[in-house]
Amino acid sequence: MAMAAKGKKAQWTVLAYLAGDNDLEGAAIKDINEMEVVGSREGVVDILVQVDRAADYDRSNDDWRSARRYYITQGVEMRRITSKLLADLGETNTGDPRILKDFIRYGVQSYPAQQYLLILWNHGSGFYVPPEMLVGEGAPSRREITLRAAAKLRRSFFHSARRQIFELPPKLRGICYDDGSSDCLDNKELKGILQSMSQLMGKKVDVVGMDACLMTNLEVAYQIKDYARFLVGSEETEPADGWPYNTILKGLADNPKISSRDFGRVVVDRYIESYDKPGPFDQDVTQAALDLEKLGDLVQAVDTLAKALLAKLPSSDLDQAIYAAWRRSTRFFDNFYVDLHHFASALAQNTTSQEVQKACREVANAIEGKGAQTPLVAEKHLGPGMQKVKGISIYFPPFKNPSVFYKELDFANDIKWGDFLSAYLEEGR
């Protein structure tokens, strides 16, 4: 087994957790092959992958069905995995935090490094259970579900399990969906996982890469801020191709002493470049790198805005201004999230309240870095629908029954945004 010499640390260890026990199985194999284009530089940049496969989507590589752990070595075959097999783990549930913790523990202990990149690869839905997953009193009707599901879901749900979702209790939310076990990681579990990894390393995780949909959400960033330094991911749903690992990992191979901040910029650049090519239509894609140690000014500005809105409600004029701003804003995932900068800017233009206008400008300035620390390290986007985005979204559902899981988040407990949503949505919209 390849392993760093005792006492010697590599520059980087990459831990890629590929939850492929779903309709993205073929994409998981493809991404491993992309990693093999670059491969590890043993003791300098060590790349480890743990991948769980499904039964029905990809029959390559002898169609093995279990979870496997690989040390990525350089190879040229784009349909066959040639990397060093470290372990066959049998069937696993990628939504079980113990499985991810075990992979992290193995990687940190066996491949010590100065910096760590943890990649969580799979479906993502931000922080919460979408209404499509709710059953029982207060849930949307089947007709509502059908209409909502007509929106582009791409990589944000596993369509093979849509039927089962309707029959399950509302517990599935977050990231790393596993069809075989009908489970996924939620963001409370993610916080615990990163806390465990941080304690194991004796410092914060350097970069958390979300090769999943809808994860540069302010609530998600706030949830993990105490245990991770940088978050890289997408506001929007990701196309099935996800990250271009051959070009992203080349950034590490070519410059292993690169800082975490600069590597975040590399991911953003390479991701957008991979979708900026001639074709019959332009895809709506986003990618952003966030400095989680610089969330304070933005979070405070959002709290101030929420308090200003609460102080003015109920008000028919403000009600109309909020609704108009929401309609104008770039929205994601069937309208459950809005781009925070776009919404604040639109609301500042629509409201006559000077207090709300001022609070909106403070939110926009905190994202732009005008007179405030911005968490935004890098942000790029493509496509006709993404022209006004700035890399950070926030929860703002279009209907009365917001997610029951919102109240479980640190952000909802510390910041008044959830109270504003409850007051505004409960007025009957």
98 in any annotated domain: yes
* Statement to judge: residues 350 and 287 lie in one domain: no
285 in any annotated domain: yes
Q: Does residue 158 surpass a pLDDT of 50?
A: no
365 in any annotated domain: yes
* Statement to judge: residues 85 and 196 lie in one domain: yes
194 in any annotated domain: yes
Q: Does residue 172 surpass a pLDDT of 70?
A: no
**Nearest partner of 53 among 63, 35, 65, 62, judged by Cα:** 65
Please say which residue of 254, 277, 294 terminates a domain.
Answer: 294
**Nearest partner of 249 among 44, 4, 37, judged by Cα:** 37
* Statement to judge: residues 336 and 288 lie in one domain: no
pTM as predicted:
0.84
* Statement to judge: residues 282 and 204 lie in one domain: yes
* Number of domains, the chain: 2
**135-161 burial code (b ≥16 CB/10 A, e <16):** eeeebbeeeebeebeeeebbbbbbeeb
CATH number of domain containing 273: 3.40.50.11970
What pLDDT is stored for residue 305 in this prediction? 98
Q: What are phi and psi of 204, to 5 degrees?
A: -70, 150
Q: Does residue 143 surpass a pLDDT of 70?
A: no
CA dist list (Å): 12 to 125, 198, 356: 29, 15, 45
pLDDT digit string (tens) for 269-326?
999 999 998 776 678 999 999 999 999 999 999 999 999 999 999 999 999 999 999 9
What pLDDT is stored for residue 170 in this prediction? 34
What pLDDT is stored for residue 77 in this prediction? 77
* Statement to judge: residues 97 and 193 lie in one domain: yes
* Statement to judge: residues 15 and 40 lie in one domain: yes
Range of the domain at 390: 297-374+385-425
pLDDT digit string (tens) for 348-405?
999 999 999 999 999 999 999 999 999 999 999 999 999 999 999 999 988 765 566 7
**CA gap 1, 6 in Å, rounded:** 14
177 in any annotated domain: no
